[in-house]
Amino acid sequence: MMEERGTYTMADVARLAGVSVSTVSAVVNNKGIVSPELTRRVQKAIEAVGFRPHAGARGLRLGRTHIIGMVMQDIANPFFVEVMRGVEDEAGENGYEIMVCDSNGQPDLEVKRLNALYAQRVDGVLLAPSDSYTAREILPRKYAPIVFVDCVPIKANVSCVVTDNFDAAYEATRYLIGLGHHRIAVISGRLVHSTSIDRVEGYRKAMQEANLPIREEYVTHGDSRIDSGYHCGVMLLKAAEPPTAIFTLNNRMTLGILQAIKELRIPCPERVSLLSFDDSDWAAVANPTLSAIQQPTYEMGRRAMQLLMESIQSAGNGAGVETRQILLKSTLRVRESTAPPCKA
């Protein structure tokens, strides 16, 4: 079977090198059965015509394409950009290429993207699902090994790499309580994400252990986008009894509440402390600099790719693919945006 790139084929390379097509094929596929002299001739001919093997065609013969599909919730979010960088670095070191798709937070589009990747015969898939409940429907019809990143299906035994979101939110809330805050509000993403669910539960546990009331008006929900953080922030800051501290559970919603704080001219942290989940590059140069939970995003991407390669290897050997859950620890970075509440 000939492979081609543009107008050049193995036959063209064979004619230029003065060898058979099977000899070219052996060199291209590193079979190690061709003499050094002929190998050099073939390689020079390959370079002369700019021939490159068609990875898809070769993959069909070998049972592997060395292509990984990746579907992210929002590739414009710096969090996912850093995760993808970890994935791509690990993939490149191991001879894999990455095909990235954006579901834009839409479950229907997510399924469409997955089906397109499966049609390309990817060796495996990395998925940050847009909905932890609908993600369960993906599992029975998967066509390649899959590893979930950041967000996971609810009550499903899957391979995944995630931050310990519950513990991170619990410790961050305890930190605010330790500063003396009793009126602590939270701005959460939609509670269809396992990440949002775990973070809210961590906040609730810390408040309950401190015997502090969890006021309904202080538990607000956005959609992990900037404008929702802004609207939730305005509502909290204009309340009859505003919170003395606000904990945002997503970096983009943090940008929204920073906008609200600026427009309303509310001094931070003098009148309200602000703590964010996700430590973006701009957090350390904001005014005031932002206290934030730093997730190991790059490490999350690398570990997810490593776990997926293990699953691909097990599936290729005919062995059962065991599910593994990797839980990564985050770090609280304390900066200028948090302080004890004003006693006025």
3-state SS, 217-278, equals: HHEEECCCCHHHHHHHHHHHHCCCCCCCEEEECCHHHHHHHHHHHHHCCCCCCCCCEEEEEC
Lookup result for tokens 């590193």 = 30
What is the pLDDT at residue 320?
Answer: 63
Residue 60 has pLDDT above 50, yes or no: no
State yes or no: pLDDT of 1 exceeds 60: no
pLDDT tens digits for range 78-136: 999 999 999 999 999 999 999 999 999 999 999 999 999 998 889 999 999 999 999 98
pLDDT at 3: 42
pLDDT band, residue 63 (cuts 50/70/90) = low
CA distance 21 to 16: 11
More reliable by pLDDT, 236 or 315:
236
Which of 71 and 56 is assigned the larger pLDDT?
71
Average pLDDT of every residue of the chain: 90
Q: Which two tokens stand for residue 205?
A: 């546990």
pLDDT for 2 equals 38
Q: For 286-302, what is the mean pLDDT? A: 96
> What average pLDDT does range 144-153 have in this prediction?
95
- Which domains are present in the chain? 4-53 (1.10.260.40), 63-163+297-329 (3.40.50.2300), 165-295 (3.40.50.2300)
Instruction: Give the pLDDT score at 319.
Output: 62
Share of the chain above pLDDT 90, in %: 69
In this structure, how many other beta carbons lie within 10 angstroms of the beta carbon of residue 343?
Answer: 5
343 pLDDT band (50/70/90 cuts)?
confident
Closest CA to 96 of 116, 75, 68: 68
The predicted pLDDT at position 52 comes to: 67
Q: What local confidence, expressed as pLDDT, does residue 26 receive?
A: 79
Of 47-61, 87-101, 239-253, 320-334, give the lowest mean pLDDT range: 47-61
Q: Tell whether the model's pLDDT for residue 301 goes beyond 80.
A: yes
Residue in 292, 177, 308, 154 with CA at minimum distance from that of residue 245: 177
pLDDT band at 191 (very low <50, low <70, confident <90, very high): very high
Residues 5-56: pLDDT tens digits? Answer: 445 777 888 888 888 877 887 787 766 677 888 888 888 888 887 776 655 5
Q: What's the pLDDT at 269?
A: 97
